[in-house]
Amino acid sequence: MIRIVSACALAGIVLLAAQGVPPQAQTVPAQGAKEIAKAREDLMKRMWPDYYRDMSQAAKGAGDPKAVKAAEAVAQLKKFATMFPPGSGREGAPDTRAKPEVWSQRADFDAALDSLVKETTAFGAAAAAGNADAMKASWAKVAEACGGCHGGPSKSGGKFRFEE
């Protein structure tokens, strides 16, 4: 009886091992790493011109608050979160500016992203309400949330991005 049970258990382990992906296979191939690093760099580059510039204008009372696309910005941020497979740091994509801390301190990285999502959503609500004071206060928090990973300016570095 014991022998049968352990034989079954062993078979189960072998089966699991066969289905499971070995750790090395989870890293992306070099070509894939470069492509995904480029894609996430492009995504980040579009954040300011496509979404945050309008918000900065609206916060100053200069632009149209109805033009603010906060929900779209949040959708892009959520996509960005999925673009860091293991192996897509500089070991696989030498030009990436993503620091190894993205992987080694992933919980902090996710928390920094969550806070930008939260502040961007709050800005969207203030803009939809046409509330100038709330937009102004909220904008400061959005800018601070960018600083959770790096300075706002494109060449700046920070906790999760190499300086250029």
Binding-site ranges for ligand HEC (CB under 6 A): 37, 40-41, 44-45, 47-48, 52, 96-98, 102, 109, 112-113, 116, 145-146, 148-150, 152, 154, 160-161
HSE value, Cβ hemisphere, 13 Å, CA-based, for 164 = 12
Q: What's the closest the beta carbon of residue 124 comes to ligand HEC, in angstroms? A: 13
Cβ at position 62, least distance to ligand HEC in Å: 18
With CA atoms as reference, report the closest residue to 48 among 69, 31, 32, 63: 69
Q: Which DSSP state fits 158?
A: -
Min dist CB 100 to ligand HEC, Å, is 11
**Residues 45/47/50/52 CA torsion (nearest 10 deg):** -130
Question: Is residue 135 a contact partner of residue 66, using CB atoms and an 8 Å limit?
Answer: no
Residue 100 in tokens: 């190894």
Amino acid at 98: A
User: Which residue is associated with the tokens 């800005």?
Assistant: 123
**CB-nearer residue toward ligand HEC: 65 or 145:** 145
Q: Smaller CB distance to ligand HEC: residue 14 or 29?
A: 29
Q: How far is the CB of 60 from ligand HEC (least distance, A)?
A: 16
Instruction: Output 28 or 109, the one with its CB closest to ligand HEC.
Output: 109
Nearest distance, CB of residue 103 and ligand HEC, angstroms:
11
Q: Whole-angstrom Cα distance, residue 44 to residue 37?
A: 11
* Residue with Cβ nearer ligand HEC (44 or 65): 44
Residue closer to ligand HEC, measured from CB, 4 or 164:
164
Q: Measured between alpha carbons, how far is 160 from 105 in angstroms, rounded to an integer?
A: 9
